[in-house]
Amino acid sequence: MEPLHIYIGYDSREPLAYHVLAHSILRQASKPVTICPLVQPTLRQTKLYTRPVGPNESTEFSMTRFLTPYLAQFGGYALFMDCDMLCRGDVWELVKLAKADKAERGVWVVKHDYQPSTSTKHLGQSQTQYRRKNWSSLMLFKAKLCRLLTPDYINTATGMELHQFDWMPDAMIGSLPKAWNWLVGEYPQNPDAKLWHYTLGGPWFKETQFCDHHKEWFDEYKLMAPSFNLYAPKARHMEESHASV
């Protein structure tokens, strides 16, 4: 069977977040998946991504995420996820939800409707407010219907055009349950969420290591690296701090 192709935004400032998320996806998936990190320097080296870094880009994958349908060769379903997440459910459930949607859709997202509670994000980045905020942090694409998202378009469109989904008619944007992109710190604690999104900063940062649902993230980390040899200096610091609470 064809695996579900998953593309995760990769940021060199938080590699641990990527690896723990990937581990949580693999541990929960009921069918085969492939996981590909969107590493901006690699995409630049191959000339797929050439746009200059914008002043409001808070991560290295702020815009590269929209290459997902192209990288999937405009075939099948393809899933993009921010790296600052922890998967608690089977990602194949997203495909099941999409297939149950009888309308013609090109992309499915959690349609958040909120105002950020802070003016800054993790790493001191400004919290830009715009229409459809955080919709693009998790996107399930029906890739063949997203052919506008070519490298040429992504490298020349404005950030707002991309993140506000100007490339897809409103009627073709499907809705996913909020539990599949639960905004930690913006929404109340939810132990039943399918996916936690640490959008204000996750447990891998010292400043936010005790955020909501931090224990579950550390539990996943321990399952991934039981000997604590991976990223050893930082891992030891995090574990010691966590154990002291």
Q: Are 141 and 80 in contact (CB under 8 A)?
A: yes
Locate tokens 């993230």: which residue?
Answer: 217
Distance between CA atoms of 186 and 157, rounded to whole angstroms?
29
Per-residue pLDDT of the chain (245 residues; tens, 9 = 90+): 899 999 999 999 999 999 999 999 999 999 999 999 999 999 999 999 999 998 889 899 999 999 999 999 999 999 999 999 999 999 999 999 999 999 999 999 999 997 766 655 555 555 566 789 999 999 999 999 999 999 999 999 999 999 999 999 999 999 999 999 999 999 999 999 999 999 999 999 999 999 999 999 999 999 998 755 545 445 545 555 555 55
Q: Which two tokens stand for residue 110?
A: 């959690």
Give Cα 70 to chain centroid, integer Å: 17
The residues, ordered by sequence, that sit 6+ positions from 222 with a Cβ below 8 Å of its Cβ are none
Other CB atoms closer than 10 Å to residue 231's CB: what's the count? Answer: 16
Six-digit token string for 242:
């966590």
The CATH H-level (homologous superfamily) assignment of domain 4-243 is Spore Coat Polysaccharide Biosynthesis Protein SpsA; Chain A (3.90.550.10)
Alpha carbon distance, N-terminus to C-terminus of the chain:
46
Question: What pLDDT sits at residue 58?
Answer: 87
Q: What is the pLDDT of residue 126?
A: 55
pLDDT at 127: 54
Query: What integer pLDDT is reported at residue 56 of this predicted model?
Result: 81
- Domain limits of the chain? 4-243
Kindly provide the b/e burial profile for residues 10-29, where b requires at least 16 CB atoms within 10 angstroms of the residue's own CB.
bbeebbbbbbbbbbbbeebb
* Tokens found for residue 82: 């921010």
Contact between 34 and 3 under an 8 Å Cβ cutoff? The reply is: yes
Query: Which residues lie below 8 Å from residue 2, measured CB to CB, with a gap of 6+?
Result: 76
